[in-house]
């Protein structure tokens, strides 16, 4: 088994991450880069970023957005060109 899925409260995870960061800043040897607890926290943070990035943008969002990105500038240009020619 390569991956494990768990459910953790955000508050608990945030507290642990802050504690690991503080201990790393203070120079405690078991919380520095390369140690298992530090690697675990980095991996969790990286996975959370990837999950959030995947949730932020989907094809459905793109399909809802693209007409506005074409229609609105086109209408503005037509209004400006129409007022210039009269």
Which tens digit of pLDDT belongs to each residue from 15-42? 888 888 888 888 888 777 777 777 888 8
Q: Note whether residue 4 is domain-resident.
A: no
Q: Note whether residue 76 is domain-resident.
A: yes
Three-class DSSP category at 56:
helix
Domains identified in the chain, total number: 1
Whether this model's pTM surpasses 0.75? no
Q: What is the mean pLDDT of the segment spanning 65-80?
A: 80
pLDDT tens column, 37-70: 778 888 888 888 887 776 666 666 666 766 777 7
The boundaries of the domain holding residue 20 are: 10-85
Q: What is the pLDDT of residue 31?
A: 75
Q: Note whether residue 1 is domain-resident.
A: no
| Separation in Å, CA 22 to CA 30, 40, 42 | 12, 15, 14
Cα 81 → chain centroid: 41
């Amino acid at each position: 088994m390569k991956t494990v899925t768990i459910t953790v409260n955000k508050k608990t995870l945030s507290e642990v991450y802050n504690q690991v960061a503080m201990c790393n800043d203070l120079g405690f040897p078991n919380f520095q880069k390369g140690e298992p607890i530090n690697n675990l926290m980095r991996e969790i943070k990286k996975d959370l970023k990837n999950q959030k990035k995947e949730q932020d943008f989907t094809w459905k969002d793109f399909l809802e957005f693209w007409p506005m990105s074409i229609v609105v500038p086109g209408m503005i240009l037509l209004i400006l060109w129409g007022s210039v020619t009269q």
